[in-house]
Structure 1
């Protein structure tokens, strides 16, 4: 009966690669024993069987690093549990640096590793050669070694996960093609296969490079494309030890691992080749592409300079296997915003073996508990939007991301491909005035403005030191603090929540009190059941039955999905994305009122137009929603303008503002100003793992009243038990120190956390960092202030000062050191 094809299941996992088998394994471990895994051919026959099998752990996100660390823990014990060999070898991983800039990057990576609790050791070239004796080190400046990295046999480890899943009750069916899903009223009803129909509650699509096209049939957007990826397998090389660590040589774009006494050598060429641009061929399984020796030759030349033994080694095979890659180089996980109970785990960018164990765990937890085990925003499927439905755009950007896999990871680096894509009505005007644009969610956004008259060029020059836009941002920052600045923030996400029960619905979802009079502005978080911050946004009450909600550009899909899913079933309220209808100009600075008053007949005095309110005012004949709010810590308004009137209003403001020193300004100035004011940024300083109390945002929570809201119980519990971490601000007196985020925080010599944000405050004239101070025994303001602090910056301990209040106070003109 165990092999009888089922008519029902609680969950159906599509795809028998490492991620699908890991998900099924972990679901079964969580009690989802009525899970079925379907594979269209044989287990591992998609891309898993030809994966190189390197397992590295360090990423720029603490939680994704933790997830990869879980993979290592799982692979270490899986063979004993299942009785199947996995090929797991924990021989460590080496990363080389062959110039001073790369060495700076590696030192910062080591600091990040230590922040996240990994033992990454910095080595001299000779120490690295002792671990990897067959390489030359003439050009090596230094190296980093992570002892807990390793390698695995992808097929073996997948078969072990499959056996573990079967042992826990999962049924696995090979040679079973999923032909369709039955979806009724937005809910999955069943899976149609070539062997029959399975009624189910949940579908998990872990179909690798097939995932995008399959999911798209049901309106689900999974931005990935197939890319050719080649690596070489040699015959046995006498000099190769069996305990050789994996090796990454990013300056030569290559990686290595030992395999049965020989080497696997591959890399990431700057001119990658997309595959299956017209679709994946039918019956493509256990299949490889033709070896492309001409394309691989430049990689081989780079490798020969590092490993001379390759010159005489026999070549077993040049493997050319297509794998799925994504536009930002990170994988895609989570419940699809377009279809309830449809989960995705795909797009692993050639580190699916490293991520497989942890990704399966995270997906299973997400399915079982309705949320991931911790914040996985960097990999969350909701980080994508409408731009990413365009396969041509996705492919163009993914080619660039693939080509940058081993290039320098510069701070503030922008991608250049597929641009411009989405532009505000002011794009050409701003470009003519010296705007240097960045891109987010497909939108072109001015990061800073070059002074063209002074010969400045609107182009980023990247460095780990102060970058070329530093003085331009200082100029814009001074305008914000002393005169006025104008920011184009048209890319903001804007929603309308309407209906008789709009107030009741938003009161349940929002942590702050939104039951305020028409004309009110409410800054609020939206919390999960653990009290963690899922959204951080502003609500304007337009009418008794309507709210206008504004959130960050990159959070449009995530926040819309969160709000829509959490509108109570008995509330008559409808959420609509109105982002394309409004341009946004933010007018900020001490002279903002004078400028606005000069172009509008409406009274914008402090008496008539108070902070935390909105009004409709007239500017150049346009009806403008003016929101009196700030993210830079100065007097100002966000002006939400009908898109067709944006250029006219901008021209009028710019012309009128010359008298009061108005300058164009960009997002890097916003970042500098908000750090001085201690404003939090979702996705770095706050998120699902942080409560408002921990983030110092308890003033924005309506606990004093008796109105219930999502997350309230968790906050009440935390108020009783206390906090284990709390956000604090740090400043460094040494002007040469550049803070970027993820620097390690030491209190009285003990590691207590890391910076979530880093930058420079041009008014206070110091580098600023924000991060959580952690302590198992509890953290409060006294604990934070009664400590002596240092930051580890690129493996250098730097004395710093700690603060719990904003560094800059515009009301008194006070600047704190």
Structure 2
């Protein structure tokens, strides 16, 4: 039967699962009611209907935790609003540990909960068994109890959201498949269905496991793939307590929840398989997949050992269903890179029921306000490279995401699938010298160097990992002699043309009207005065600039610059990242080393800080810029790939006299944190303004061409609101800082650590942290007032906080003039 479709809607949403219905509900609730949601079959019939329905407030990041926290609030309110019971049960949850490292992780999660006012506390094994009497306590060291967690009925919650949307005027139409998103001039303008077209101002792809194929039609990369995911439901169990908390045993790869007198238990899998590699049947609706016993036997045996009652209880339901997982374990939420007004929400990695309400609200707010409501940069579709959205990559990488959901969330944990895709010219010589590689955006990058006789392999821990002593020596070399690092994978974007200077003046906060051969660190702001990126710009000629960005944000920076180019501007943008190998040379002996191998005058007068020069090293033509991310005297040397190994060999051979040592990313991170240098995505994002992080000095408000966001920056600076970024150092040299540890001022949570490492020079864990001001105080100077501690695995560790870096605050070493 042909359905009457509206000819136009402000927003068309594709997909009637938890996400699509949440977006529709929150758009309508916020007053945008001209919304049409189109579902190919029936609501929830793809993945939502068979979700386990676990809901918990604590997730892996600030944004996802905010989503989940709001989701609990909505579950408690939506029945009164819509009359539809979402099936919410606040049973609490207990996560157990069977080894020291898992206990450390759980304690760190409980610490993280303190940032959000979420109750989480340690439970002894005896108390856990009393609360969950079916559990075998053998090997259990304790656990973390979160009383506000529980479960919801996925279909009922989605129905409630759909009902709430309809009550406010949104239209939800089932059994209508969207065949194509219509575009005009790189802008989404509607959808085409089998029963007609609808023009639209915005299109939202919430297609779940179909989202990738739908996006691909328009060149939109949606880096997710369906994987097989199992759970079982027992027969009815006599006298099963109805108030059992959800029990999670990550090391056993299993969770359990009471389900109407039965036990539902699901698996995180030690091996996982992609599904739908050849496409998904047009008839797929409320379907399940074949249950392959061998796929779950290993984890099933662990589950039966942990809950012995399962050995004598029948299984009513053996279920296998497809769920979508992203390639990197992070959500996909935001505007598509190449098509304006095309939004995507998906790839939430088995957290749809607990995060769907909050994620849908965030996307709705983004559409209404024209910008993200909070920092969602970790989810930005722009992070994905073209090769990462292709099926061969996703079919290998996404199952690993499923496996890792219950695995240890180690600091620095590296992916094992789809490796060795992008190698710099220095990959092989550094591998031969003991490099242990990490992976970013497909690039293999040395994390640290193993001495002879030591296997270059990460052995993970929340404490001192196996590389710790070697990285201390790497840091020492950078501070006391000379160190060299591979910077080749850093982004290199060429901005060229008659209007290149005026374009960059508009895009960048610093003054780009600099002489040829000069280099400047700068920010790029949005219209709200928030920091879209921090980059280094080098002027190579009258009409030629190189913009250098971090590895993980090169594509994002490219797209940001591309979208700023006006039609009447003569500006050409190209990515030259792979055109050069780059070696960073740093340390007090770096000048002496380069003087020994080059024909250049390296004196401060001839080669000052923030300048660029062309010369030769050995027989190779190179150019270098005098910069430093370590806080030491240093240069970044650019070499074409054909000469790269030659330059490397010349530097290594000559460097022996000066105590040269190769270093990796672990050492560099510690060096930059001692010096208080920042990293976009960790220590700042587009929600922060320059005054909050001490970067007003790169905001040239009087330059002839005003930079984007200038007025907003000045207004926010005058308002002087926090939180403010500070340096932090533990007084006890034992504990380590990684990320997100709560910082307490006078016993009350005042902020959190953005990034941490163990600094060899300062002799303790050091990092950066965001802090709110003490009550009644105004002005950044007050941020460091008070007595500070940091929560590390449940213990309060005394700390020093400073508005200046702990290492060389006057930058005398970096600006060395001798």
Q: Same fold (TM over 0.5)?
A: yes
- Residue 419 (structure 2) aligns with: 419
- Residue 669 (structure 1) aligns with: 667
Cα drift, residue 563 of structure 1: 2.0
The answer as to whether partners of 1:504 and 1:571 remain within 8 angstroms in 2 is no
Within-5 A mapping of 1:248-647: 248-452=248-452, 455-568=453-566, 570-647=568-645
For each residue in 1:80-101, what CA deviation from the matched residue of structure 2 results, as whole angstroms up to 9, or x when unmatched? 1111121112222211111222
The answer as to whether partners of 1:188 and 1:201 remain within 8 angstroms in 2 is yes
- Residue 784 (structure 1) aligns with: 783
Distance 1:739 1:50, change over 3 A: same
Aligned equivalents of 2:501, 2:574: Cα separation in 1: 15
The answer as to whether partners of 1:387 and 1:442 remain within 8 angstroms in 2 is no
Q: CA RMSD in A?
A: 1.9
- Residue 648 (structure 1) aligns with: 646
Distance 1:416 1:779, change over 3 A: farther
Aligned equivalents of 1:218, 1:186: Cα separation in 2: 9
Aligned equivalents of 2:621, 2:386: Cα separation in 1: 28
Aligned equivalents of 2:80, 2:3: Cα separation in 1: 26
The answer as to whether partners of 1:103 and 1:142 remain within 8 angstroms in 2 is yes
The answer as to whether partners of 1:728 and 1:773 remain within 8 angstroms in 2 is yes
Cα drift, residue 336 of structure 1: 1.2
- Residue 803 (structure 2) aligns with: 804
Cα drift, residue 139 of structure 1: 2.3
Distance 1:73 1:581, change over 3 A: same
The answer as to whether partners of 1:14 and 1:20 remain within 8 angstroms in 2 is yes
Matched, 1:112 2:123: no
Aligned equivalents of 2:211, 2:780: Cα separation in 1: 48
Deviates more, 1:150-159 or 1:657-666: 657-666
For each residue in 1:543-582, what CA deviation from the matched residue of structure 2 results, as whole angstroms up to 9, or x when unmatched? 2322210001111222222222233455332322221212
Cα drift, residue 755 of structure 1: 0.7
Q: Secondary structure at the match of 1:274?
A: coil
- Residue 709 (structure 1) aligns with: 707
Aligned equivalents of 1:167, 1:509: Cα separation in 2: 44
For each residue in 1:277-317, what CA deviation from the matched residue of structure 2 results, as whole angstroms up to 9, or x when unmatched? 22222221211112223323333222222223323333221
**Alignment match of 1:683 (pick from 681, 688, 691):** 681
The answer as to whether partners of 1:731 and 1:801 remain within 8 angstroms in 2 is yes
For each residue in 1:61-120, what CA deviation from the matched residue of structure 2 results, as whole angstroms up to 9, or x when unmatched? 122211221111122211111111211122222111112221111111111111333211
Aligned equivalents of 2:553, 2:578: Cα separation in 1: 15
Deviates more, 1:730-739 or 1:744-753: 730-739
The answer as to whether partners of 1:135 and 1:306 remain within 8 angstroms in 2 is yes
* Structure 1 unaligned regions, length at least 5: none
- Residue 148 (structure 2) aligns with: 148
Deviates more, 1:705-714 or 1:389-398: 705-714
Aligned equivalents of 1:99, 1:758: Cα separation in 2: 24
Deviates more, 1:522-531 or 1:631-640: 522-531
Q: Secondary structure at the match of 2:615?
A: strand
Aligned residues: 811
Aligned equivalents of 1:297, 1:473: Cα separation in 2: 41
For each residue in 1:183-233, what CA deviation from the matched residue of structure 2 results, as whole angstroms up to 9, or x when unmatched? 232122331100101112221111111111221121111111111101011
Cα drift, residue 621 of structure 1: 4.2
Within-5 A mapping of 1:18-33: 18-33=18-33
Distance 1:570 1:58, change over 3 A: farther
- Residue 748 (structure 1) aligns with: 746
Aligned equivalents of 1:368, 1:675: Cα separation in 2: 38
Deviates more, 1:48-57 or 1:298-307: 298-307
Cα drift, residue 3 of structure 1: 7.1
The answer as to whether partners of 1:494 and 1:551 remain within 8 angstroms in 2 is yes
Cα drift, residue 660 of structure 1: 1.7
The answer as to whether partners of 1:725 and 1:779 remain within 8 angstroms in 2 is no
The answer as to whether partners of 1:134 and 1:239 remain within 8 angstroms in 2 is no
Aligned equivalents of 2:392, 2:373: Cα separation in 1: 34
The answer as to whether partners of 1:741 and 1:755 remain within 8 angstroms in 2 is yes
Aligned equivalents of 1:616, 1:109: Cα separation in 2: 50
The answer as to whether partners of 1:496 and 1:547 remain within 8 angstroms in 2 is yes
Q: Secondary structure at the match of 1:693?
A: helix
Within-5 A mapping of 1:690-705: 690-705=688-703
Aligned equivalents of 1:251, 1:685: Cα separation in 2: 32
Aligned equivalents of 1:116, 1:614: Cα separation in 2: 46
The answer as to whether partners of 2:610 and 2:626 remain within 8 angstroms in 1 is yes
Cα drift, residue 724 of structure 1: 2.7
The answer as to whether partners of 1:134 and 1:240 remain within 8 angstroms in 2 is no
For each residue in 1:761-788, what CA deviation from the matched residue of structure 2 results, as whole angstroms up to 9, or x when unmatched? 1112111121011136445454234311
The answer as to whether partners of 2:691 and 2:720 remain within 8 angstroms in 1 is no
- Residue 212 (structure 1) aligns with: 212
Matched, 1:726 2:724: yes
- Residue 769 (structure 1) aligns with: 767
The answer as to whether partners of 2:502 and 2:705 remain within 8 angstroms in 1 is no
Deviates more, 1:416-425 or 1:432-441: 416-425
Deviates more, 1:382-391 or 1:727-736: 382-391
Aligned equivalents of 1:258, 1:151: Cα separation in 2: 10
The answer as to whether partners of 2:674 and 2:767 remain within 8 angstroms in 1 is no
For each residue in 1:609-653, what CA deviation from the matched residue of structure 2 results, as whole angstroms up to 9, or x when unmatched? 111121233334444231111100111111122223222222222
Distance 1:359 1:812, change over 3 A: closer
Q: Secondary structure at the match of 2:213?
A: helix
Aligned equivalents of 2:693, 2:255: Cα separation in 1: 40
- Residue 226 (structure 1) aligns with: 226
Distance 1:782 1:202, change over 3 A: closer
- Residue 655 (structure 2) aligns with: 657
Aligned equivalents of 1:308, 1:21: Cα separation in 2: 40
Q: Secondary structure at the match of 2:627?
A: coil
Deviates more, 1:75-84 or 1:773-782: 773-782
The answer as to whether partners of 2:631 and 2:811 remain within 8 angstroms in 1 is no
- Residue 56 (structure 2) aligns with: 56
Aligned equivalents of 1:457, 1:606: Cα separation in 2: 41
* Structure 2 unaligned regions, length at least 5: none
The answer as to whether partners of 2:224 and 2:389 remain within 8 angstroms in 1 is no
Aligned equivalents of 1:339, 1:254: Cα separation in 2: 41
Distance 1:153 1:652, change over 3 A: same
The answer as to whether partners of 1:228 and 1:275 remain within 8 angstroms in 2 is yes
The answer as to whether partners of 2:289 and 2:321 remain within 8 angstroms in 1 is yes
TM-score w.r.t. the length of structure 2 is 0.96
TM-score w.r.t. the length of structure 1 is 0.96
Aligned equivalents of 1:356, 1:567: Cα separation in 2: 35
Aligned equivalents of 1:779, 1:300: Cα separation in 2: 57
The answer as to whether partners of 1:385 and 1:556 remain within 8 angstroms in 2 is no
Deviates more, 1:771-780 or 1:432-441: 771-780
Q: Secondary structure at the match of 1:645?
A: helix
